Structure 1
């Protein structure tokens, strides 16, 4: 059982990357280094083995190894959410039970995907997993796996252990509706990095995203400025973050984030095939463009950009 209750899981929560060797094996040493780096950056929690963690390129044993490694390194200092989603209910239950035994604070899951599952089957999937362990379940609503509509979210929220949703969609009016119609205590985590301020403005309790691995400082500024009512400062940080996001997304995504970290902070390893690597020419160009972007937008206090 974990250390934190669901109401304590708030703020800036990186969807943590998984570190692999150049040959594609899970790299425990690099994973621990990345965990220490994020702890040093004072993030508010971690979200493991999700989309950013390349989870569906790993088998269950590898996913468990990632969870054990990070939980051991974190040692209760911040909350840890473990994504346990898979196509099959039995596989997800196996991962959920492991997360519980390893000490996770919450679990999360995408809906079952690939086949066109009915709403009743999706609800049954979440009920079965939620009843398998005494941990809060955070539904992961993302287009990659198939978005669930508001009426389905309402039905899922009625399941005893379903306590929140990771809302990775751009329809942020629904965040407000969730809070108003389902209840203030039903946790909502905005999952679109480029719309973090929007998610916070519509009532999300925290933000979970990929780029919080590499530029958490900008998102921490957004959260602090929003809490202080300083919209101008929050908008400025969001604009700066978005410029970095849009630039990096024009390159191989996973490989680029890991290389950016490796330049002057922590060696985050490589992405796993079939994701593309970053060639040396691409890397030189990306570094040059990030340097120019940093100077143009006067981005300061962001560790990965300081020594470019």
Structure 2
């Protein structure tokens, strides 16, 4: 049973990367270092085996192993949300029960995808998974798996145990509507990195995102600025974060995030195929391009720039 309610998990939560070695095997040693890197930087929790964690490129047993390593290394320092999404309800329940046994604080899941399931089938999926454990569920609204309309989110919120949603969509007016019509206790995490300030301004309780692995200080500062009502500072920080995001998006983003972490002393390893990785030569070019880009844009306040070597 979870020691925390979803309402207690707020702030900035990186959607954790999964390090693989040169042979595409899970690298537990690198994973432990990545966990320490982020926890020591002050993040408020970790979201494990989601899209950024390349979950759909892993077997269920591998996903279990990743979660076990993360929870062991976290050692209670921050909350852990385990993403258990799969097309199969059977597999998701298996992952959910394992997450509960392992010590996760909450569950999350994309809706089942690929076959174009009906709303009733999707509702049954979340109902079955949530009923299988005592952990709270955070539904996941993301274009890659199919976006929920507002009426569907209202129906999801009626399922016992569904306590919130990871909202990775640009329709931030619905964040305000969710808070107004479903209620302030339905926890909402803004999932679009480039719109973190907007999500918080419209009522999000926290942030879950990919680039929080590489530049956590920017999003921690955005969250703090919004809590303090300092919109100008939040805007300036968001502009810095977005500059890094859009630089990486055009240059193999998942692999770029992992290399940017490595430049800061947290080698996050490699991606699994069909994703591609940087060679030593292309990584050197990436680093040179980023240095030039940062100088041109006048980027400041990035630990990434302070730790790059070679």
| TM-score in same-fold range (> 0.5) | yes
Give the aligned partner of residue 112 of structure 2: 112
Deviations along 1:267-297, whole A, 9 cap, x unmatched?
1110011101113343222212221233344
Q: Which moved more, 1:285-294 or 1:267-276?
A: 285-294
Give the aligned partner of residue 217 of structure 1: 217
Deviations along 1:246-283, whole A, 9 cap, x unmatched?
01111112211111111232111100111011133432
The Cα shift of 1:186 comes to 0.1
Give the aligned partner of residue 241 of structure 2: 241
Helix, strand or coil: the match of 1:144?
coil
Give the aligned partner of residue 5 of structure 2: 5
Give the aligned partner of residue 34 of structure 1: 34
Equivalent residue runs for 1:268-279 within 5 Å: 268-279=268-279
The answer on whether the counterparts of 1:3 and 1:79 sit within 8 Å (CA) in structure 2 is no
Equivalent residue runs for 1:145-224 within 5 Å: 145-224=145-224
Structure 1 CA distance for aligned equivalents of residues 77 and 83 of structure 2 = 19
Helix, strand or coil: the match of 1:292?
helix
The answer on whether the counterparts of 2:30 and 2:267 sit within 8 Å (CA) in structure 1 is yes
Structure 2 CA distance for aligned equivalents of residues 264 and 213 of structure 1 = 11
Structure 2 CA distance for aligned equivalents of residues 66 and 306 of structure 1 = 30
The Cα shift of 1:298 comes to 3.7
Structure 2 CA distance for aligned equivalents of residues 236 and 289 of structure 1 = 22
Structure 1 CA distance for aligned equivalents of residues 224 and 98 of structure 2 = 35
Give the aligned partner of residue 52 of structure 2: 52
The answer on whether the counterparts of 2:2 and 2:134 sit within 8 Å (CA) in structure 1 is no
Residues paired across the two proteins, number: 308
Mind listing any 5+ residue stretches in structure 1 that lack a counterpart? Answer: none
Give the aligned partner of residue 266 of structure 1: 266
The Cα shift of 1:205 comes to 0.2
The Cα shift of 1:5 comes to 1.9
Helix, strand or coil: the match of 1:81?
strand
Give the aligned partner of residue 253 of structure 1: 253
Q: Under a length normalisation based on structure 1, what TM-score does the superposition of the two structures give?
A: 0.98
Helix, strand or coil: the match of 1:86?
coil
Give the aligned partner of residue 287 of structure 1: 287
Give the aligned partner of residue 302 of structure 1: 302
Structure 2 CA distance for aligned equivalents of residues 297 and 223 of structure 1 = 23
Structure 1 CA distance for aligned equivalents of residues 298 and 7 of structure 2 = 36
Structure 2 CA distance for aligned equivalents of residues 293 and 219 of structure 1 = 20
Deviations along 1:33-73, whole A, 9 cap, x unmatched?
00000011100000000000000000000000000000000
Give the aligned partner of residue 20 of structure 1: 20
Structure 2 CA distance for aligned equivalents of residues 4 and 299 of structure 1 = 38
The Cα shift of 1:227 comes to 1.2
The answer on whether the counterparts of 1:244 and 1:293 sit within 8 Å (CA) in structure 2 is no
Structure 1 CA distance for aligned equivalents of residues 169 and 42 of structure 2 = 26
Give the aligned partner of residue 142 of structure 1: 142
CA RMSD across the alignment? 1.1
Helix, strand or coil: the match of 2:263?
helix
